[in-house]
Structure 1
Amino acid sequence: MNLVIIRHGDPDYEHDTLTEHGWTEAEVLAHRMEKMNVKDFYVSPLGRAQDTASCTLKQMNRTATTFNWLQEFPARVFLDEAATKESLLAAYPDRQIRDGRLTANVCWDVLPSYLFRHPEYFHPTQWRDSEITHSGNLLSVYDNVVTEFDRLLASYGYVRDGELYLVEQPNRDNIVFFCHFGLECVLLSHLMNVSPFILWHTTAFAPTSVSTIHTEEREQGTAIFRAAHLGDISHLTAAGMEPSFSARFCETYDTTDQRH
């Protein structure tokens, strides 16, 4: 089985849709996707993912199933609960009062000066027992997402068993997901059995990038998932388009026109 995970096009976050450039990216992506024999499409409920998917679905005269768990990873870190942890507070400069609580805007977007001094975030299991997971709902949201993901994979014949998948019905189906950077990293971390913090902080999948993950059944009855392409933007390159900057931060600190 082949899982194809696509990030939405260049986002207009304020209106939860695509920028003009994002719509062009989505149209270019649609011409790439129409060549693929796709079994099923799944899409996040958020507008920017729905809009991106709409171009491909229209091009292929197909429909998609919307799953709430494919929305951008919505977990929160409640910094009022971490008030005595000065290092953790300093790790989240992007925060706001939400429902009367001091909350990190994006729980997994942590400053490197904090993250890379705490090796537990890069351990395959110890990240689950960290300051961040104890200061919010990251762990419960993560577990809900991967449980729903595994339920879907089981419907195609691949049943999670520890860190492997039991093969109840092998297939070569192409399954396509339209979702978001943070959520994609969650899915990949689960398939690869690594901490999501590794992917959240060492990858940057550009808008409309395509990641392809294959099952590999080297032993009869069991499978692992192996990435063939991560964040592929060859469709944009072929169209002479520069990838959008969204998901990246400034290349050098003195670059004032890039995201800080």
Structure 2
Amino acid sequence: MRIIFVRHGEPDYDNDCLTERGVEQAKKTAVRLNNEDIGAVFASPMGRAVETASYTAKDHDKEVNILDFMHEIDWGAKTGKELEYDGHPWTLAYELIAAGQIDNWKEHHFFKDNICMDYYDRLSREADRFLEGYGLVREGNIYRADKENNDTIAFFAHGGSGAVILSHILDLPFPYVLTAMPYGVCSVTILNLTPLNGDMVIPRIELFNDMNHLGEVRKETLRFEK
């Protein structure tokens, strides 16, 4: 099984849709994915993700299936007290790693007291439940394939919810993914979850943050908002 993950195009965050350049990025991404044998298209319920997905779905004669759990994450203090940097996970991740405290990141108040972890836990659970429908059962930090599956599916989502998915599926610390593995708008990332020996699946990164298809509408500046 292969999962093609695409971050939405350049967003108009205020109106939760794509900018004109974002629309062009989404169209170019659809062309980029035209030769992929995509069996199903999934998207976050947010407008910018659905709009981005619509072009690829149309090219493959598919519907856009909404996955509520892929909604962009929120952040801020759980307790009503203020968190440093308003709880912005990307900034806190940088500070945590710079301080050499990533090993116990879940217990550090940057994340333990941050509502982003409610999203992290829910996304992780729901992602595993979703993958079970494709015959991939979570066992510890990897997966077991209980049936043959050669499907390729496409996810269209966000910088935050996508980082959670990568962190969970690849068993990488969330702060590490946020800082060392950022990905741009309409970038293409591909995960391969095909077993290589027996039925055990160690997820592999086939491609990460590919933006070569965007050409003149490529946007380098990374910006992550709700």
TM-score (norm 2): 0.91
Q: How does 1:229-240 map to 2 (within 5 A)?
A: 229-236=207-214, 240=215
Q: How does 1:91-102 map to 2 (within 5 A)?
A: 92=85, 95=86
Do the aligned partners of residues 246 and 15 (structure 1) sit closer, same or farther apart at CA in structure 2, a change above 3 Å counting? farther
Superposed CA deviations along residues 57-107 of structure 1, whole A, max 9, x for unmatched, are 22222102101111112243348535xxxxx53xx0xx4xxxxxxxx4xx3
Matched, 1:176 2:151: no
SS in 2 for 1:166: strand
Aligned equivalents of 1:2, 1:113: Cα separation in 2: 30
CA RMSD for the aligned pairs?
Answer: 2.0
Aligned equivalents of 2:138, 2:157: Cα separation in 1: 22
Q: Which amino acid counterpart does residue 119 of structure 1 have in structure 2?
A: G
Match of 1:144 in 2: 122
Q: Which amino acid counterpart does residue 33 of structure 2 have in structure 1?
A: M
Match of 1:257 in 2: none
CA offset at residue 132 of structure 1? 1.8
Matched, 1:247 2:222: yes
Match of 1:114 in 2: 95
Unaligned runs of 5+ in 1: 83-87, 96-103, 250-260
Q: Which amino acid counterpart does residue 114 of structure 1 have in structure 2?
A: E
Matched, 1:186 2:170: no
Structure ID, larger Rg: 1
CA offset at residue 154 of structure 1? 0.8
CA contact (8 A) 1:204 1:248 kept: no
Superposed CA deviations along residues 221-241 of structure 1, whole A, max 9, x for unmatched, are 2111100111111211xxx32
Aligned equivalents of 1:148, 1:161: Cα separation in 2: 15
Match of 1:128 in 2: 106
CA contact (8 A) 2:92 2:110 kept: no
CA contact (8 A) 1:158 1:170 kept: no
CA contact (8 A) 1:165 1:224 kept: yes
Aligned equivalents of 1:181, 1:174: Cα separation in 2: 21
CA contact (8 A) 2:5 2:188 kept: yes
Do the aligned partners of residues 137 and 162 (structure 1) sit closer, same or farther apart at CA in structure 2, a change above 3 Å counting? same
CA offset at residue 211 of structure 1? 0.2
CA offset at residue 191 of structure 1? 1.5
SS in 2 for 1:139: helix
CA offset at residue 208 of structure 1? 0.6
CA contact (8 A) 1:41 1:177 kept: yes
TM-score (norm 1): 0.79
